[in-house]
Structure formats: structure tokens, C-alpha cells
Structure 1
Amino acid sequence: MALKHARLLEVIDLHASDEERGTSMSSSLLKTDRLQLMQVVLPAGAGLPEHHVAGEITIQCLVGEAKVVTPRQTCQLAVGQLVALPGGEPHAVQAIRDSTLLVTVLRESS
């Protein structure tokens, strides 16, 4: 089944339940040719292994506390904080407390 993505100019409720949004806990909220928004939900101690994406990204902490680890530095994010990473930057994410993150990816145009 295809993911239900919002369309441009459609309001996205970040507090909506999974049932209301029709997605799993971590989900892609919006995807266009040049932009992708993802909500990533991680329980304390869980994480995403090191990876990279081609475009620049931001990782914003909406709930909890998480750390973003790159070869250059480790950034600890609390509620209301975000970090921007250059395209291609290897990074891993680790939840210190139950966390919800909003990830914005600038996609390379095709």
C-alpha cells in the first residue's frame, strides 16, 4: 500500500494519531520533487544507524531528547532545537528519551 503524503498547501497535523494520518509511527509526511518531510519516532535507547542523504537536511526535536552523531561532532537536541546537516554528511541518530523528530530533506532535482 502506498504511503499517504500530504500535498502542497495541505495542513499537516503533527499531533494527529497514526490512525488519523494513515501511517506508521515513523512516517513520510510530504514528498515532492525537491522536498521531503518525515516524522521519526524513536523510543529511548533506539536509533537510526549511520547513513547519509544527498541533499541538505534539518533534524528538529519535537518531543524528548536525541543526539545526532556525525564524523565532525555530536549534537544533542532538546525540544525546540534543530540542527542542519550538509548534503552527503554521514550521520546517526540516537534517542536519549522517547523522541519525535521532524526531518526535512532537500532533494536533488532530477
Structure 2
Amino acid sequence: MALKHVTSGEVAHLAGIDDPAARTRALARTSSFEAIHLVVRAGESLPAHKVDGSIILHCLEGHVAFEAGKSPDMRAGDWVYLEPGTPHAVRGIADSALLLTILFDAPAFRTDT
């Protein structure tokens, strides 16, 4: 069964980490991006992996170990951007909620102009 994504203009409620209903869920997906409410409980891990697009990870609540180069960990309010194909992993130090956005980069986009 496909997950229900929100439609343009529809409000999605992101449950706080203390809410038993808090869970990882896809929020929206278009041809240019995907947004995911990522819930990582203390002791849980997302093993090292990489994605084809750029990613933006915003820690909303909690504390995670974030393994990707310069960022050893993230706490509430922290934000990080990764270039496409950058290996990364996440491990919950405390129960945590994050907003993950994957940008499906257009091949013709250049940042050096």
C-alpha cells in the first residue's frame, strides 16, 4: 500500500517526540523533492548510506550522532546540508525528531556561476 502524502496547501501535523503517535513518515514527494518526518529513538540507527540528491536535515527535537564529515552530532535546532552522494549515518542518542528533505537535483544546475 502506498503512503499518503500531503497535497499542495494541506497541513501535516508532526507529532512531538513525547507523543506516542510520533513515527517516521513520508510527508510529500514531487519530481523535485521529498520531505520525511524522521523519528529516531535512543539507541536506534540508520546505517551508512547515500542518496543521489542533495539532502537537508533539520533536528527538531532530541540528540543524534550524525556521521558525515564535519558534523559529529546534532541537537534540536541544528541544520545540515549534504551534497549528493555523501555517505551518512544517524544514531539516536536521545529520542529525536528530524525533518529530512531530499532535493532531486537537476543535472544542469551549477553553483559556480
Question: How does the TM-score come out when normalised to structure 1?
Answer: 0.84
Whichever residue aligns with residue 91 of structure 2, its letter is Q
Please give the alpha-carbon distance, in whole angstroms, between the structure 2 residues aligned to 1:10 and 1:67.
32
Asked if the contact 2:52/2:85 (under 8 Å) is kept, the reply is yes
The unaligned stretches of length 5 or more in structure 1 are none
Moved over 2 A (4+): 15-19, 72-75
Following superposition, the deviation at residue 18 of structure 1 comes to 8.3
RMSD between superposed Cα atoms in Å: 2.2
Q: How many residues align?
A: 105
What amino acid sits opposite 2:31 in the alignment? Answer: D
The answer as to 2:75 corresponding to 1:78 is: yes
- Further displaced range: 50-59 or 2-11: 2-11
Give unpaired runs (5+ residues) of structure 2.
108-113
Please report the TM-score for the alignment, with normalisation by the length of structure 2.
0.82
Larger Rg over CA atoms: 2
Q: 1:51 aligns with which of 21, 38, 49?
A: 49
Indicate conservation of the 8 Å contact 2:54/2:105, yes or no: no
Q: Which has the higher strand share?
A: 1
Q: Distance in 1 between matches of 2:72 and 2:26?
A: 23
Out of 103, 107, 110, which is 2:104 matched to?
A: 107
Which residue of 84, 89, 93 maps to 2:90? Answer: 93
Percent identity reads 35
Q: CA deviation at 1:96?
A: 0.8
Task: Please list, as runs of the form range in 1=range in 2, the aligned pairs for 1:5-16 lying within 5 A after superposition.
Answer: 5-15=5-15
